[in-house]
Amino acid sequence: MRRAGRRARLQIAPSARRRAARRAAIHARFLARRVQARNIGAYIAYGSELDTQPLLTMLCEEPRTTLYLPRITRDRRMAFQQWFGGPLRAGAFGIPSPVTGPRCFAGALDLILLPLVAFDGAGSRLGAGAGYYDRYLAQAPRHRPFICGYAFAAQEVDVIERAPWDIPLQGIVTESGFRRLSR
């Protein structure tokens, strides 16, 4: 299923990818305002993922919003580190991460926009397969941020088997808009 999700992303034409990234960014900004998110976790798109550059630009311009990006630590855990729009350094798996900035624990984030390979209408998702987001979110049992996937609409599938440790999405943002997912 991961292969099919990645293939769906690769089949989108470059001009359609650019349009989708701009549209999804507008929908995500609307969502952030709707849930009154102040501390937002996002990510730098990698490979064929939906481009997050328009999203990051919009979020950096939002007043009273602090943006955090994921970073894989030496002990192979994920942490979100504040990003001011400055330089990034290739981290684990070659994914750009902030060079400096304070970390944010899962319970302090209001919204997390996360990458995925595929998703379904019940909030199940397939990520890259390493489980970083599920382990990170499991650290926030009391106040969990609003968990939202960020992907192309073409990445939706009928059903994804959910493992007991999988933390479901509450919503999805695509170029078509924001949609709350049934859990």
Res. 140: pLDDT tops 80:
no
Res. 92: pLDDT tops 90:
no
Q: How far apart are CA 173 and CA 152, in angstroms?
A: 8
Res. 93: pLDDT tops 80:
no
Q: Read off the amino acid at residue 176.
A: S
Q: Which residues of 103-142 are buried (b: 16+ CB within 10 A; e: fewer)?
A: ebebebbbbbbbbbbbbbeebbbbbbeeebbeebbeebee
Q: How far apart are CA 1 and CA 63, in angstroms?
A: 39
**Best mean pLDDT range from 34-38, 85-89, 105-109, 131-135:** 34-38
Model pLDDT, residue 137: 85
Res. 141: pLDDT tops 70:
no
How many whole angstroms from its chain centre is CA 57?
A: 15
Nearest-10 crossing angle of helices 53-61, 14-34: 30
Mean pLDDT in residue range 112-134? 90
What pLDDT, in 10s, does the model give residues 159-175? Answer: 999 988 888 999 999 99
**Residue 74 class from Cβ within 10 Å (0-12 exposed, 13-18 middle, 19+ buried)?**
exposed
147 and 172 in contact (C-beta within 8 Å)?
Answer: no
Res. 183: pLDDT tops 80:
no
